[in-house]
Amino acid sequence: MVVFCLKVKCTFEGVGILSADPADYEWCLKVKCCGCGEDSPNWHTFGVADSHELKGGRGSANFVYKCKFCSRENSLDIVKDSIKKIEASQGEKFVPLVKFDCRGLEPTFFMPKGPWEAESITSGSKFGDIDLSENDWADYDTKEQETVGIYGFTSQFERVK
């Protein structure tokens, strides 16, 4: 078992909190097979509610991937209670967002399609259905009559176990 932590950083404008709904968020990743080193060219989408049986009755996982090059079956599970909110007070540094328990694969790229939710730092206004796949998002807070946004969203994976 190898655990990878997805860390993210971004710049906030008028936003205090950015979060992914733990129950509904669809994670979109590219992966690499650890058996042969082959990178999957496709994006793979899965959520915490997904459950796929593993070959040979070895349980289940949120995402199962069969490598097209070596035919090895690999799996990934979202670590329970590992999904965190990102707060503006954490500054513009990489902070943990979620952990993945990986068996036979390594996550290589993350696409932050969403839906994300954000909350205004001053008015508490909530913004939903945010798509960060372009790495930026902006809207207008009518209560405070100011622009709110998230800019320069970037991510990296860190092996933690």
Sheet bearing 126-130, strands edge to edge: 86-87, 15-20, 116-120, 126-130
The Cα 103–Cα 77 span in angstroms is 9
The confidence score (pLDDT) of residue 120 equals: 96
According to the model, what pLDDT value does residue 28 have?
98
Question: Is 150 within 8 Å of 137 (Cβ atoms)?
Answer: yes
Mean pLDDT of 53-57: 87
Query: How many Å apart are CA 126 and CA 116, to the nearest integer?
Result: 11
Give the model confidence (pLDDT) of 135-152 as tens digits: 999 999 999 999 999 999
Contact 83, 70 (CB under 8 A): no
What does the pLDDT read at residue 161?
76
The confidence band for 131, taking pLDDT boundaries of 50, 70 and 90, is: very high
**pTM: predicted TM-score of the whole model, two decimal places:** 0.94
The tens digit of pLDDT for each residue in 92-113 reads 899 999 999 999 999 999 999 9
